[in-house]
């Protein structure tokens, strides 16, 4: 009898705790499940993606490697920075097993590995999502609607900008930037400041050492937060100065370039004549497009369950910096991506997605247009060639100024190729590596990359100094088409 009573009490406690935990979990995450996974509905849709991954940093690409290796058709929307944040760093020494390697090299290896197993990487961003009903809708920057059976969000984080500092917004891209690896070449023999005290600030300063005349690091507090190894590397350069307890209060410019900054120092206000401001003051998670669709943490990161990458929406997973305010390291993001991929695989099995269904929907799969085969854009490598091709052209010429290290320049190339093919004979597209023909950079006051100018009969008739989506580039170029 006593044993029986103990059993009943034990069972009651167990059920009570389990239910409580379940309710607590559901309450905390407000988990929305219970979708009607109706395969008949799926067979009436088009543009289907079994596993859609938003983001191509370490998290997104590691997830893609796993899902595609498990024979799940996977499409990665690479977004504005193909390869993610590691594309803007030089040496990486803590990616397990590779020793010391360049960030872009590591990301290329990861892309190759994911593609080897069949992952499809496309140069599009997702501008809107709808998780209200299944299959989930993703709207691309090209306005296509795709239907995802499950989604892995790996949109990472982007650099913060200064707040309440007069003059910061206007010269963005004209001397104020967040990416040394993209823009350092524009500051040859110039004086620049780097704002921030962490590893990113140290990294940006080190990247600038190959170009700048003098680099001043402005640290808001009394010491740098960068690792000891990074600080040691900074000490090797006598043209790097560090100012502590210092903040920028104003950025001054002449309309096209930055000319100086006003600083608040422990000794009062100080003016510095400089040519460039590199911001390294932290990152903000890329969550805007998911607002109202899934639960966030109080600090704005995507909330996920404790031991898995599940979000508040069944079949939607989050990995990497977008859901990690604590670690923010490439290897951690990659591990998150692997977990999200395994969670996605379990989810697809759970809703009955098997080889037979995969075969049935094969003809309905999203098939982005193959742009890799389009002809290349003519590179301009000398002033003579510029005169012949650009100045003597009888149609307007769009010139794409780029640098080899600028990832958004590489990212835009497929858009440029497809726009050029579309506007053939009406508009000519050429590209100029600013380091190969610096005279053109100076002649046209090019201050960042990518930078587009449109030239007709030797006159500049259009300018755009930022990366564009495929649609934005198309709209920009259409303005100059001659019918
Ligand atoms: C300068 C610098 C140096 C660093 N050095 C190191 C280091 O040495 N070691 C280390 O471990 N970590 C380092 N880190 C941190 C590391 O880079 C990040 O932790 C890691 O990249 C996070 O990976 P992620 O995949 O979560 O996101 P990210 O790398 O931020 O990638 C996010 C991806 O999402 C895409 N995206 C964003 N919005 C959209 C959208 N709407 N649609 C489609 N795609 C979208 C972007 O294009 C990008 O591909 C460094 C970071 C910086 C900035």
**Digit-coded pLDDT (tens) for 157-187:** 887 888 888 876 656 667 888 878 777 888 9
Q: How far is the CA of 452 from the centre of ligand 1 (A)?
A: 26
**Ligand 1 atom 21 nearest Cα:** 85
C-beta separation of 461 from 480 below 8 A: yes
CATH value of 176-279 in 3.40.718.10, 3.30.70.100, 3.50.50.60, 3.40.50.620: 3.50.50.60
Give the closest residue (by CA) to ligand 1 atom 7.
92
* Percentage above 70 pLDDT, the chain: 89
Domain with CATH 3.40.30.10 in the chain: 378-478
Q: Is 80 in the pocket of ligand 1 (CB under 6 A)?
A: yes
Q: Whose CA is nearest to atom 41 of ligand 1?
A: 126
Ligand 1 atom 15 nearest Cα:
329
For residue 369, is pLDDT > 60? no
**What CATH code is assigned to 378-478?**
3.40.30.10
Distance CA 404, CA 379 (A): 13
Specify the domain boundaries for CATH 3.50.50.60 within the chain: 30-158+283-364, 176-279
User: What is the pLDDT at residue 172?
Assistant: 65
In angstroms, the CA 354 to CA 360 distance is: 10
Distance 25 CA to ligand 1 centre (A): 29
Ligand 1 atom at minimum distance from 94 CA: 9
| Residue 313 CB less than 6 A away from ligand 1 | no
> Is there an atom of ligand 1 within 6 Å of 286 CB?
yes
Q: For residue 328, how far is its CA from the centre of ligand 1 (angstroms)?
A: 9
Catalytic residues: 179, 182-183
Q: Which of 55, 105, 225, 317 to mutate to test the pocket of ligand 1 (most atoms within 8 A of CB)?
A: 55
Q: What pLDDT, on a 0 to 100 scale, did the predictor assign at position 25?
A: 38
**Beta strand spans in 78-231 (E):** 91-92, 101-102, 120-122, 126-130, 136-140, 145-153, 157-159, 176-177, 191-195, 214-218
Q: Is the pLDDT of residue 233 over 80?
A: yes
**For the residues 292-296, what does the mean pLDDT come to?**
96
Instruction: Please give the distance, rounded to the nearest whole angstrom, from the Cα atom of residue 207 to the centre of ligand 1.
Output: 18
**pLDDT of 28 higher than 80:** no
State the Cα–Cα distance between residues 10 and 214, nearest whole angstrom. 72
Q: Is the CB of 47 under 6 A from ligand 1?
A: no
- Give the model confidence (pLDDT) of 451-460 as tens digits: 999 999 999 9
Indicate if ligand 1 lies below 6 Å from the C-beta of 131. no
- By DSSP bridging, strand 145-153 and strand 120-122 are unpaired
How far lies 195's CA from each of 179, 192, 245, 270, 418, in Å?
A: 12, 10, 12, 16, 38
Architecture of the domain delimited by 30-158+283-364? 3-Layer(bba) Sandwich (3.50)
**Residue 29 scores a pLDDT above 60:** no
Ligand 1 close to Cβ of residue 126 (< 6 A): yes
**Exposure string over 418-450, b if 16+ CB within 10 A, otherwise e:** bbbeebeeebbbbbbbbeebeebbeebebbbbb
Ligand 1 atom nearest to 79, measured from its CA: 44
Residue among 56, 81, 82, 84 whose CB has most ligand 1 atoms within 8 A, to mutate: 84
pTM as predicted: 0.71
Q: Is the CB of 88 under 6 A from ligand 1?
A: yes
pLDDT in tens, 322-355: 999 888 889 999 999 999 999 999 999 999 999 8
pLDDT in tens, 145-160: 999 999 999 999 887 8
- The string of pLDDT tens digits covering residues 56-83 is 999 999 999 999 999 999 999 999 888 9
Q: How far is the CA of 182 from the centre of ligand 1 (A)?
A: 15
Average pLDDT value over all residues in the chain: 88
């Amino acid at each position: 009898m006593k044993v029986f009573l103990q059993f009943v009490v034990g069972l009651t406690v167990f059920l009570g705790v389990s239910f409580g935990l379940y309710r607590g979990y559901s309450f905390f995450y407000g988990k929305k499940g219970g979708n009607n996974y109706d395969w008949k509905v799926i067979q009436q849709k088009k543009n289907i993606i079994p596993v859609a991954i938003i983001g191509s940093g370490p998290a997104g690409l590691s997830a893609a490697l796993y899902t595609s290796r498990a024979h799940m058709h996977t499409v990665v929307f690479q977004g504005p920075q193909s390869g993610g944040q590691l594309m803007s760093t030089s040496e990486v020494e803590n990616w397990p097993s590779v020793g010391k390697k360049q960030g872009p090299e590591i990301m290329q290896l990861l892309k190759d590995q994911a593609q080897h197993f069949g992952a499809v990487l496309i140069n599009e961003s997702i501008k809107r999502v709808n998780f209200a009903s299944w299959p989930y809708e993703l709207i691309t920057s090209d306005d296509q609607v795709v239907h995802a059976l499950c989604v892995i969000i790996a949109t990472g984080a982007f650099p913060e900008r200064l707040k309440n500092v007069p003059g910061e917004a206007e010269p963005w891209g004209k001397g104020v930037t967040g990416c040394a690896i993209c823009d350092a070449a524009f500051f040859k023999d110039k004086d620049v400041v780097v704002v921030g005290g962490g590893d990113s600030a140290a990294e940006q300063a080190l990247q600038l050492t190959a170009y700048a005349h003098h680099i001043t690091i402005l640290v808001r507090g009394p010491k740098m937060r960068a690792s000891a190894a990074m600080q040691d590397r900074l000490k090797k350069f006598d043209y790097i100065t560090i100012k502590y307890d210092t903040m920028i209060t104003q950025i001054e410019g002449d309309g096209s370039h930055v000319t100086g900054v006003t600083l608040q120092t422990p000794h009062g206000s100080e003016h510095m004549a400089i040519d460039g401001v590199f911001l390294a003051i932290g990152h903000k998670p890329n969550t805007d497009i998911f607002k109202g669709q899934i639960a966030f943490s109080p600090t704005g990161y995507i909330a996920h369950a404790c031991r898995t990458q599940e979000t508040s929406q069944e079949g939607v997973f989050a990995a990497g910096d977008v859901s990690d305010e604590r670690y923010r390291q490439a290897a951690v993001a990659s591990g998150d991506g692997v977990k999200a991929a395994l969670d996605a695989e379990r989810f697809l099995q759970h809703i009955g997605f098997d080889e037979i269904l995969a075969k049935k929907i094969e003809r309905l799969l999203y098939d982005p247009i193959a742009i890799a085969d389009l002809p290349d854009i003519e590179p301009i490598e000398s002033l003579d060639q510029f005169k012949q091709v650009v100045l003597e052209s009888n149609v307007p010429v769009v010139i794409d100024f780029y640098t080899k290290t600028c990832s958004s320049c590489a990212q835009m190339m497929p858009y440029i190729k497809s726009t050029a093919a579309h506007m053939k004979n009406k508009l000519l597209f050429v590209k100029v590596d600013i380091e190969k023909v610096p005279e053109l950079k100076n002649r046209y006051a090019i201050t960042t990359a990518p930078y587009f100018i449109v030239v007709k009969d030797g006159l500049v008739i259009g300018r755009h100094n930022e990366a564009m989506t495929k649609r934005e580039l198309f709209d920009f170029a259409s303005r100059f088409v001659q019918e």
